[in-house]
A and B are shown apart, each in its own frame.
Chain A
Amino acid sequence: MGHIKLNQITKSFGDVEVIPPLDLTIENGEFAVFVGPSGCGKSTLLRLIAGLEDVSSGHIEIDGRDVTDVPPAKRGLAMVFQSYALYPHMSVRKNIAFPLHMAGMDQAEQQRRVERAASVLNLTDYLDRRPGQLSGGQRQRVAIGRAIVREPAAFLFDEPLSNLDAALRHGMRMEIGELHQSLSTTMIYVTHDQVEAMTMADKIVVLRAGVIEQVGSPLDLYREPRNLFVAGFIGSPTMNLIEGDEARKHGAHTIGIRPEHIVPGDPDGAPWSGTVGLSEHLGSDTFLHVHGTGLTESITVRADGEVPLRHGDRVGLTPNAERIHRFDQAGLRIA
Chain B
Amino acid sequence: MATKASKSAARLMMAPAVTLLLGWMLVPLTMTLYFSFADYRPLRATFEPWIGFDNYVRFTSSSSFWDAVTTTLVMVGSILAITVVLGILLALLLDKPIFGQGIVRILIISPFFVMPTVSALVWKNMMMDPVNGVFSHVSRFLGATPHDFLTQTPLFSIILIVSWQWLPFATLILLTAIQSLDGEQLEAAEMDGAPPLKRFWHIILPHLARAITIVILIQTIFLLAIFAEIFVTTQGSFGTRTLTYLVFQRVLESQNVGLGSAGGIIAVILANIIALFLMRAVGKNLDA
Give A contacts to B, CB under 8 Å.
50, 52, 71-73, 77-79, 81-83, 85-90, 98-99, 102-103, 146, 150
Contact = CB atoms under 8 A, between A and B. Distances in A.
A183 B193 CA distance: 22
A52 B184 CA distance: 10
Given A87-B202, A87-B203, A89-B207, A50 B185 contact: no
B95 interface: no
Interface in B171-212: 182, 184-185, 187-195, 198, 202-203, 206-207, 209
B2 to A, nearest CB: 16
Contacts of B203: 87
Contacts of A98: 189, 192, 194, 202
A87 B190 CA distance: 12
8 contacts: A81-B188, A86-B185, A87-B188, A87-B189, A87-B202, A88-B207, A98-B194, A103-B193
B208 to A, nearest CB: 11
A71 B189 CA distance: 12
Interface of B: 182, 184-185, 187-195, 198, 202-203, 206-207, 209, 288
Given A89-B288, A102-B192, A102-B193, 7 more contacts: A50-B191, A86-B188, A87-B203, A98-B192, A98-B202, A146-B188, A150-B192
Contact of A78 (B184, B191, B202): B191
Given A87-B202, A87-B203, A98-B202, A81 B187 contact: yes
Given A98-B202, A102-B198, A85 B193 contact: no
Contact of B188 (A77, A79, A89, A103): A79
A217 B54 CA distance: 92
A146 B191 CA distance: 11
Contacts of A85: 182, 184-185, 187-188
Nearest 8 Cβ contacts at the A-B interface: A99-B192, A85-B188, A85-B184, A73-B193, A102-B193, A89-B206, A81-B184, A85-B185
A83 B185 CA distance: 9
Grouping DSSP codes into helix (H, G, I), strand (E, B) and loop, the B interface class, with mixed when no group exceeds half, is helix
B37 to A, nearest CB: 48
Grouping DSSP codes into helix (H, G, I), strand (E, B) and loop, the A interface class, with mixed when no group exceeds half, is loop
A200 to B, nearest CB: 22
Contacts of B182: 83, 85
Contacts of B187: 52, 72, 79, 81, 85
A316 to B, nearest CB: 54
A98 B206 CA distance: 14
Contacts of B184: 81-83, 85
A273 B41 CA distance: 109
B1 to A, nearest CB: 17
Contact of A77 (B191, B198, B206, B288): B191
Contacts of B209: 89
A102 B194 contact: yes
Nearest to B199: A102
A146 B192 contact: yes
A103 B209 CA distance: 25
A89 B184 CA distance: 15
Nearest to B207: A89
A65 B203 CA distance: 31
Nearest to A102: B193
Contacts of A50: 191
Nearest to B190: A72
Contacts of A83: 182, 184
A79 B191 contact: yes
A78 B198 CA distance: 18
A52 B203 CA distance: 17
Nearest to A94: B202
A87 B185 contact: yes
A50 B188 CA distance: 11
B97 to A, nearest CB: 13
Contacts of A71: 190
Contact of B191 (A52, A87, A90): A52
A79 B193 CA distance: 12
A78 B192 CA distance: 7
Contacts of A103: 193
B202 A73 contact: no
Which residue, of B182, B207, B209, has the highest number of chain A Cβ atoms within 10 A?
B182
A90 B194 CA distance: 15
Which residue, of B193, B202, B206, B209, has the highest number of chain A Cβ atoms within 10 A?
B193
A78 B187 CA distance: 11
B206 to A, nearest CB: 4
Contacts of A87: 185, 188-189, 202-203, 206
A89 B205 CA distance: 10
